[in-house]
Amino acid sequence: MADASLTALYQDIILDHYRRPRNKGTLEHASISVPMRNPLCGDEITLELEMNGDEVADVRFTGRGCSISQASTSMMTEMVKGKHASEIGQIGERFRAMVMGDADAAADSTLGRARALAGVARFPARVKCALLAWNALERGLATAASQRGETDGEEG
């Protein structure tokens, strides 16, 4: 596929998530609520997680900001629902590497349609927009782990 049409496809995916965000709203039984802002761009989201042990049973977000921040959050919620914290940590690491310009991560099929955001790597000012959701998620999962009385790298 020519580079230009690939870029157009990626822009379509981003705009689709921006205009029709998935999992937007609030949860009735949220375990965790994480507000997160990107003052450089004016993006803000509040991420809500319903945890079942270390599994994200459900997730919602509210927020406003640029198309990158809101589309990235929408995509993230689709990717993490029903997954365990350890798996989410790996996906988040890959996503983070991708928006920092890692070509291997950009080709990683586990990132699915979120690969549409790979082009953000060429615009350093937008990297924070793309990572806003993942930073909120990381903080939320850390809070959930400490609520369960877990410490890093230890089981039970």
Residues in contact with Zn ion by the rule CB under 5 A: 41, 43, 66, 69, 129
Question: Please, what is the minimum distance in Å from the beta carbon of residue 41 to Zn ion?
Answer: 3
Residue 126 CA to residue 156 CA, distance in Å, equals: 39
Q: Which two tokens stand for residue 75?
A: 């995509």
Report which DSSP code applies to 24.
Answer: B
Question: Please, what is the minimum distance in Å from the beta carbon of residue 99 to Zn ion?
Answer: 12
Nearer to Zn ion, 42 or 82 (CB): 42
Nearer to Zn ion, 43 or 48 (CB): 43
Q: Which residues contact 15 (CB under 8 A, 6 or more apart)?
A: 67, 71
Question: Please, what is the minimum distance in Å from the beta carbon of residue 43 to Zn ion?
Answer: 4
Nearer to Zn ion, 51 or 77 (CB): 77
The enclosing H or E element of 86 equals: helix 85-99
